[in-house]
Structure 1
Amino acid sequence: MCWSCDAPPISTPFPLGTLIEALSPTPPDGVRLGRLAGALRPLFPEWSDFLPEPMPPTESAGLERHRLFRALDELLRAMGAHTVVLEDAHWADDTTHEFLLHLATVEVDTPVRVIETWRNEERPPRELVARILRIASGSTGRVIRLGPLDLAGTERFVASMLGGLVASPRVAGLLHRRTQGVPLLLEDLIRTLHDRARKSPGEEHWSPAGIAALAPPASLRESVTSRMDRLAPSARLVAWALAVLSEPASVPLLSVVTGLDHQATSTAVDELVASHLLSLLADGEVSFRHALVLDAVTEEVPLGERSRLHARAAAALGALPAPPVVQLARHLKQSGDAEGWARYAEEVADLALGRADDRTAADILLELATAVTQSPTDLTRIVSKIPFPVFRSVDEYRVVVDVLRSVAQDRALPRLEQGRVRWQLARVLIMADRMSEAAEETERVIPLLADDPVLAGQAMISLVHLSWPNWELATRAEWLRQASQLLANRDPASELHLVTDLATVLLRFGSAEGWTEAAKIPTHDIAVRDRLTVARGLGNVAHCALVWGRYGTARATLAAAVDLASTYEYLRLSTGLEAMGLHLDYLEGSWDGLRQRAAALVSAGRGAVGERLEAEIVEARLLAVEGDFAEAGRRLRTMLDHPASQLGPELVMETRAGLAEVAIARGEPAEALSLTDEPFRLIQHTGVWLWGGDLVRTRVQALLLTGRNAVARDIVDSMAVGLAETHSAATDAALLSCRAMVARADGDLAGARELHHRAAAAWRGLPRPHHELRDLEAAARCLLDDGHGAGIAELRDVLNGYSRLGAVVDGERVVEVLRTVGVNARPPGRRGGRTGYGTRLSPREREVLRLVAAGETDAAIAARLFKSLNTVHSQVKSAKRKLGVSTRAELARAAADLVEEDGDQRLDSSGG
């Protein structure tokens, strides 16, 4: 038998305690021992009935020890032990080591093999190790030195702990860098990550930040503390200095930071290397063996000593010909020198922006702008660099606004400087969703920017966006003309920013020239300084494409914006893009689980209110098509509490159109007219019919239901004139639908049917299946009204379409029409919210699951499938629930099993 025992980490272990505790508390059955075994009675008092009486004592302690060793030897051999393994031998007492040495060297016919394992940094006493190594170097034994795992070995180790799932190279690489491949530390970290992910599922635990934030395991902290306590004071000081530096360092640098002379520092370094805390690097520098040791030592540095060492490190690094600014700024800040930190902080932020670490840059720039007194020129420059979309709360915007307001109120400030500060203030107010304040500030700032035409032009374009409810066509055209003149000689360095502004304002207000400007926005090979501008610009263009009915363009542009936003962690922008993606799914008829996804985004509360409004509209409109008119109306009316400038013209029109549709469905066309009065006047006032496709269509329907056919006809004619120079697929389809409704009201059933079919074809081209089905329904009803029974078959097809889509109310309306002509039909199920595929995987979940099985991260899946990152998170979470798993690893294994075992059939069939 193989007998194994672990030495416990006891600071003063009792003699032979490890071996004694490893034996059973009851004596072995069928074993007969000689008289010599009486020496074991003091060790095993509970075996008194089993062991013989002890032999008379001797006067020699050595002889007594010899008797004890022979008795233990006899016991082990009688029990049939052929191998003894002592784990963690560095914790065992000297007597245990001496007995195992005796066991391994005694000359007998049936030798017992002895295996001891220990860590170099905590090995047994040197004299004993030397004796063991001398024996092991002979023919009967050998020493096996186990080094750390390489990257490939780390990947296999992680996979073995995750049940065979292949770890992504990214995760394995992060863990390897954190532990340098030490298996014991890898095991501790993986268990910690797995436990955290099980308790609160989410990929953030396995992200670079999540892995870097892992504290050293308790066992490592205890080991480091023990070794640090045994060090000479000078060696401990050098270890603290290296921990404060957080980078490999040379002996001369450590000497300067600690204040020790060169010889004392060298001696201390030798002691630290011998204690296995430090490693010597090829260039003569030293570093901690791995990041976890660094963290453990850092925890031990006294606060007072830490500040002093940071100050000395800053002085040492600042004296170099090319100071490392990132390290220098950190040391100055940690030493309490805020003024010194400010001298380098902006340069550090620029470096962070250059390596796409926008969160770090934002934190630094925010602190520079708000916690350090700045000149107006410096303040506007610093604020202009802040990547605001990574902000996590409105408080971060608020402090920037307060500082800019304070500086702008300085009456001694030159006119142009005041204009630049106030323009930055207006921009921050826009991003903070404080639109009315932003409009006031922008209008106030334009005269102040007379000597800076580029900024003045940008401010004018912004004012056009902010003031759309109040300006008629001529006013808006005049402001855009002035802006264009100011921007005629624009600086090429600001070209991209102006391109995105111009593209957005032109497209938003119905000018097809905006597509020419939009085509100039790059989607590949984007300069670092432009990535935020591009992400915003692409998001704006995607939204405009959605309004114009260019859904393919919207989908592709949105995917490019999502990729940038997720890569650089533009949190607020990501939320807005996700809401836009939900809106696009709604329009294209991808309703499976859509209301739940929209509700999740709304309830999550991420981002500012403006970023979630599209998701709220989607949720409300789906409630309406499912028949929950009361809740849908409540949600939509709540949205109208937001200022029109915050909603934007498109969402104002859609919200009102949604409320009017609910009123018509309830049989209240007069209420629908009242709801559409104000927004329709806005369309007439501004001259932008592009916004009004749904709203005008619903208003025309309400007018016809109330017998105001002539007014409806005039509106349709006005719409046709207004759209003469703005041909968008969405409004062209809406215009055809309106013409068809007027023709039917005038009694021209054949003409109406033809127009409804043309409208349906136009909707299909977008695609927008809900509207397509409504026009096909209307065309079939024209046929029925004209006495043609063929309309029944067409209505059945429409009913099937509504059922597949999940349009409960529309389906019930068709059922009632069929019943009036004697056809019994089954309405779509009213399920209190479409549950989609229930416990089965939907096609979209299957699509995501295949990539999960291939080891892709959620971010990679989002980019590959042109989805938002949060949509992928939602679908992964849903798949976990349906497959009954709780972790990412379990989900990947389940998906891999489905693909491998059933040739993907099970995945396909699970979707219905």
Structure 2
Amino acid sequence: MLYGRAAEQDRIHQLLSRAREGVSSALVIHGEAGIGKTALLGYAADAASPGRVLRTVGIETEMELAFGGLHALLTPVADRVDRLPEPQAAALKAAFGLSGAVVRDRLALGVAVLSSLSQAADGGSLLCLIDDAQWLDQASLDALTFAARRLRGEGVVMLFALRDSVPGGQITGLPRLRLQGLDSASADALLTGHVADLSPNARDQIVEQAQGNPLALLELPAALTVEQRAGRVNPVTLPAGPASPTSRIQETFQEQLRRLPDATRSMLLVAAADDSGDLDLVLRASTRFGATLEDLEPAERARLVLLADNTLSFRHPLIRSVTYQDTPLARRLAAHRALADAWGDTMAGEQQADRRAWHLAAATTGTDEDVADAMVGVAQRAGGRQGTASASAAYERAAQLTTVPARRAKLLASAAFTSAEAGQFHRTAALTDRINALALDPAMLADFARVRAIVELDRGTPHQATRILLACADRLGSSADLAPVLAEAVATAQSSGDRSLMTEVAARIPASSEHSIARAMADPGGSDTGYPTGLTPAQDAGFAERILAGTYHRLIADHHTALQVAAACVRDCRDHDVVGWLPTSLHLLAEAQMYLGLHEEAGSTAAEGLALAERFGRNHRATYLRGTLAAHAALRGERDRCTGLSGVALRHADAHGIEQAGAHAHRALGLLDLGLGQAESALEHLEAARARVEHPVLSAFLLPDLVEAAIRAGQPDRASGPVLALTAWAQATGRPAAVALARRCQAMTAPDDATEQHFTTALRLHGRSSAQPFERARTELLYGEWLRRERRRTDARHQLHGALETFEELGALPWAARARTELQACGGAADLDSPTNTRFGRLSPQEREVVRLAATGATNREIAAQLFLSPRTVGHHLYRAFPKLGISSRTELPQVLLRDDAPADL
């Protein structure tokens, strides 16, 4: 399988397709060593007709063997030589040493090659592959390129693979295709598919160092130690792995390097030990080895390095790797010491200080408290992209350098916590095993317990994770570090669905303002005492408290606040590289988007969250995200996708006791069946979901579905309890969105003389909440159905029209079908001037908001900030909206909005 070569594969496919029609062609595929030329030739061979491929490969040691490459190519068809015209046959026999004659007419030989290829095609098609053409003997190369330039209608394709920057093998007069490095996504996919046990952070480092070279991507991981594979990174140097190369290309580089003068090799070692590319730095450090600028000339002439704009870079990433790994340890240590001294000479800021510290650490073989202090400084300053990963590595290196046991435990705990934030969960687990918790102060003890709980969530159960956190809370007492521990204990206890465990957590929460959100979330009796509004975490609160706050607002139907909290968490995760919290933040954001009718955005957000969770091994959060995506699929009527996602989520939830996530997966299946009119199976799924979660607040989200399923299944007695629970929750929250749901369910179970009042009140409250368009449309559908049964067809049509329009806008196709059926049953039809038939009505709700703001002149960045989207997503919405509106630029938007109420040109 080739990665990231779709365009190149398509070009080869076109050449082969044309050859089958009798059209010949030739192509020179060139690029640096290891870039994938041979792999592309292999793809061409697989795609060609069986038995219609000729091959030859240039061999460096046989470059002086005249016509050796040509002979290897044509040997399979040598028995046809006598069919050629006599001069051509004689030329070929002479070239192959069959006649004892000397090749005197190179023109006749070239024509003979062309004729032989045409004859081999035999009225069909033929593929000729010439690999490593730079090492083909010149006589063969001349004859083959002569033929390639004269191909016309023979049905022959000739592909030459040529390495750049190698003397010889020059080919002119033929079309060329230069292979570039793989893009980062393709490089990551290649590593994932071929290299096992490589952490995401180690994979990212390899991707960056390999510069898109496929061979380097596969070879560089071989030099990593077990710890480095788990994610420990050193941002200034390569790992020191085995010196022996594992490929012919590496052997070639190794031989080239060994032929260089000692001073030149010393300079290259210094350059390989530091990734800054700063030529001045390399020169200053190299003076410690007695090397000068002139000593770089042999490496330049051999094209091992490139010099430009005061920067030094290696021509190929494997040259840097071989240079470093093929050098004895003592010289590597000396190079790092020299670089540390050179960076010390130019101390101009934090970056230089960090690089100097890393080189000092790399040059130290034992313990050194001063270097440990320097590495702690590196960790504390780490920020920006990959900041947490670098901080974790720095803390771990500092722990290795210190001689004080208590300090070592503290530094390892810091390394474990920041590795979790960086998403290095396999490494996190390994670090926690090395920590002596008895040596930790309260602050570090809290971090250590949270890290252990994170590991337990993904490998064990939320119940045990809660126990870890409660044990820590008991040891901390009234410490200031208690808040984040209790916040996470609340979240893990909720995941377990165990009400008694949540009561136990609630008993540990002090009655102070800093714990108000945790106390409100943990108290199972909250639905009786009411839920305070406006609870926000402290300004300096961590992600645990902020996520808990967002979840709290979602559970009390304050979805706008939940959206704001979640969007801020996502933004901060990206800005500060807190990858560990990003899937959780994206999950919270997706849930808020779903409730606010931003279904398309919710699907994209949850899909990103799931991809990250799977990549970083966040199995616990991945289970929740699959439930969210299953609900999204259910709304759209995508049965296979919904059942597939729910099935995977349920299997993991059952195996690890994640009852809340299991409830979400069951709810998605219930919602799917409810939309498709299968009320009995919907009721079974929804009651199974409720049975998993004992907390009345945590189960409130599925009660409206359960009530509707019970009523539609003709079992109103199974709806009475959920209606009472929903009503109690709605009254406790005091949120219009929650009360609207309760009144809708009361309308379905109340006596006929009270039904309409409940429905109209629910619709009024839906309007006031400015949220949950899907739920409002469901209320309109149910109200319309009731009105039709009451033979009030005109009133019914009004409600059903509104429901149909919203369902169509949201892409909720099963629900739209139900509304359309009801509308037809009461003699109605979609009006031509309804929103779904106008240009503007063709847009999704999110596209409408983006278009309205763009029409005011707002930039993509300004729109993104207002709607909590990325500028790229805003551009995507505009790209999709323009064709629907029949325009090509945003300058036309104001005119479209002015005629929004005009029927579309259908």
Counterpart check, 1:780 vs 2:808: no
Pick from 556, 563, 570: which aligns with 1:555? 563
The amino acid of 2:649's aligned partner reads: M
The Cα offsets for residues 772-816 of structure 1, whole Å up to 9 and x where unpaired, read as 111112222332222223134222343333333322222322343
Which piece of structure 1 moves more, 763-772 or 332-341? 332-341
Counterpart check, 1:467 vs 2:493: yes
Pick from 411, 433, 453: which aligns with 1:402? 433
Pick from 577, 589, 593: which aligns with 1:569? 577
Specify the SS of the correspondent of 1:520. Answer: coil
Measure the CA separation in 2 of the matches of 1:911 and 1:651: 46
- C-alpha displacement of 1:734: 1.8
Measure the CA separation in 1 of the matches of 2:283 and 2:605: 59
Name stretches of at least 5 consecutive residues in structure 1 with no aligned partner: 1-45, 47-190, 217-223, 278-285, 489-494, 522-529, 828-835, 884-896
Alignment map for 1:164-563 (pairs within 5 Å): 196=183, 257-258=288-289, 268=292, 289-292=310-313, 303-304=327-328, 306-310=331-335, 312-313=337-338, 326-335=354-363, 337=365, 339-340=367-368, 342=372, 344-353=374-383, 357-365=387-395, 375=405, 378-384=408-414, 386-388=417-419, 390-404=421-435, 407=436, 423-429=449-455, 432=458, 434=460, 435-450=462-477, 453-455=479-481, 459-468=485-494, 476=502, 479-484=505-510, 516-518=534-536, 520-521=538-539, 534-563=542-571
The Cα offsets for residues 103-155 of structure 1, whole Å up to 9 and x where unpaired, read as xxxxxxxxxxxxxxxxxxxxxxxxxxxxxxxxxxxxxxxxxxxxxxxxxxxxx
Q: Which residue of structure 2 aligns with residue 735 of structure 1?
A: 742
Measure the CA separation in 1 of the matches of 2:181 and 2:852: 22
The Cα offsets for residues 13-46 of structure 1, whole Å up to 9 and x where unpaired, read as xxxxxxxxxxxxxxxxxxxxxxxxxxxxxxxxx9
Alignment map for 1:33-112 (pairs within 5 Å): none
Q: Which residue of structure 2 aligns with residue 91 of structure 1?
A: none
Q: Which residue of structure 2 aligns with residue 716 of structure 1?
A: 723
The amino acid of 2:332's aligned partner reads: S
CA, structure 1 residues 747+374, in 2 after alignment: closer, same or farther (shift >3 Å)? farther
The amino acid of 1:399's aligned partner reads: A
Larger radius of gyration: 1
Pick from 661, 668, 672: which aligns with 1:658? 668
- C-alpha displacement of 1:536: 4.9
Counterpart check, 1:814 vs 2:837: no
Measure the CA separation in 2 of the matches of 1:465 and 1:642: 18
- C-alpha displacement of 1:300: 5.8
- C-alpha displacement of 1:360: 1.6
Pick from 650, 653, 663: which aligns with 1:640? 650
CA, structure 1 residues 735+196, in 2 after alignment: closer, same or farther (shift >3 Å)? closer
Measure the CA separation in 2 of the matches of 1:238 and 1:421: 44
- C-alpha displacement of 1:379: 2.3
- C-alpha displacement of 1:542: 3.2
Measure the CA separation in 1 of the matches of 2:482 and 2:893: 62
Counterpart check, 1:755 vs 2:758: yes
The Cα offsets for residues 688-734 of structure 1, whole Å up to 9 and x where unpaired, read as 33x33442223323443455546644543344345543323443222
The amino acid of 2:392's aligned partner reads: A
The amino acid of 1:734's aligned partner reads: L
CA, structure 1 residues 318+900, in 2 after alignment: closer, same or farther (shift >3 Å)? closer
CA, structure 1 residues 882+417, in 2 after alignment: closer, same or farther (shift >3 Å)? closer
- Contact 1:841/1:879 (<8 A) preserved: no
Measure the CA separation in 2 of the matches of 1:414 and 1:601: 33
Measure the CA separation in 1 of the matches of 2:658 and 2:873: 24
- C-alpha displacement of 1:900: 8.7
Measure the CA separation in 2 of the matches of 1:728 and 1:653: 23
Specify the SS of the correspondent of 1:576. Answer: helix
- Contact 1:342/1:368 (<8 A) preserved: yes
CA, structure 1 residues 644+720, in 2 after alignment: closer, same or farther (shift >3 Å)? farther
- C-alpha displacement of 1:740: 1.1
Measure the CA separation in 2 of the matches of 1:705 and 1:625: 18
The amino acid of 1:289's aligned partner reads: N
Measure the CA separation in 2 of the matches of 1:782 and 1:514: 36
Q: Which residue of structure 1 aligns with residue 24 of structure 2?
A: none
The Cα offsets for residues 801-857 of structure 1, whole Å up to 9 and x where unpaired, read as 333332222232234334444557799xxxxxxxx989x999389879989x9998x
Measure the CA separation in 1 of the matches of 2:890 and 2:715: 64
- C-alpha displacement of 1:483: 2.6
The Cα offsets for residues 171-190 of structure 1, whole Å up to 9 and x where unpaired, read as xxxxxxxxxxxxxxxxxxxx
Measure the CA separation in 1 of the matches of 2:400 and 2:881: 45
- Contact 2:720/2:749 (<8 A) preserved: yes
Measure the CA separation in 2 of the matches of 1:562 and 1:416: 29
The Cα offsets for residues 672-699 of structure 1, whole Å up to 9 and x where unpaired, read as 444444554566x53x33x334422233
CA, structure 1 residues 582+420, in 2 after alignment: closer, same or farther (shift >3 Å)? closer
Name stretches of at least 5 consecutive residues in structure 2 with no aligned partner: 1-104, 106-177, 190-199, 214-252, 302-306, 833-840
- C-alpha displacement of 1:229: 12
The amino acid of 1:442's aligned partner reads: L
CA, structure 1 residues 566+514, in 2 after alignment: closer, same or farther (shift >3 Å)? farther
Measure the CA separation in 2 of the matches of 1:293 and 1:229: 16
Specify the SS of the correspondent of 1:467. Answer: helix
Alignment map for 1:146-165 (pairs within 5 Å): none
Measure the CA separation in 2 of the matches of 1:865 and 1:704: 38
- Contact 1:639/1:655 (<8 A) preserved: yes
- Contact 1:589/1:768 (<8 A) preserved: yes
- Contact 1:506/1:512 (<8 A) preserved: no
Q: TM-score, normalised by structure 1?
A: 0.55
- C-alpha displacement of 1:269: 6.0
- C-alpha displacement of 1:484: 0.7
Q: Which residue of structure 1 aligns with residue 635 of structure 2?
A: 625
CA, structure 1 residues 315+611, in 2 after alignment: closer, same or farther (shift >3 Å)? closer
Specify the SS of the correspondent of 2:699. Answer: helix
CA, structure 1 residues 814+241, in 2 after alignment: closer, same or farther (shift >3 Å)? closer
Equivalent residue pairs, number: 641
- Contact 2:336/2:359 (<8 A) preserved: yes
Specify the SS of the correspondent of 1:292. Answer: strand
Measure the CA separation in 2 of the matches of 1:548 and 1:645: 30
CA, structure 1 residues 376+763, in 2 after alignment: closer, same or farther (shift >3 Å)? farther
CA, structure 1 residues 294+337, in 2 after alignment: closer, same or farther (shift >3 Å)? farther
CA, structure 1 residues 599+371, in 2 after alignment: closer, same or farther (shift >3 Å)? farther
The Cα offsets for residues 182-235 of structure 1, whole Å up to 9 and x where unpaired, read as xxxxxxxxx998984898899x9xx9999997599xxxxxxx99x999999768
- Contact 1:680/1:695 (<8 A) preserved: yes
Q: Which residue of structure 1 aligns with residue 808 of structure 2?
A: 803
Measure the CA separation in 1 of the matches of 2:671 and 2:260: 79
CA, structure 1 residues 791+419, in 2 after alignment: closer, same or farther (shift >3 Å)? same
- Contact 2:269/2:335 (<8 A) preserved: no
Identity of aligned residues (%): 15
CA, structure 1 residues 318+803, in 2 after alignment: closer, same or farther (shift >3 Å)? closer
- Contact 1:461/1:480 (<8 A) preserved: no
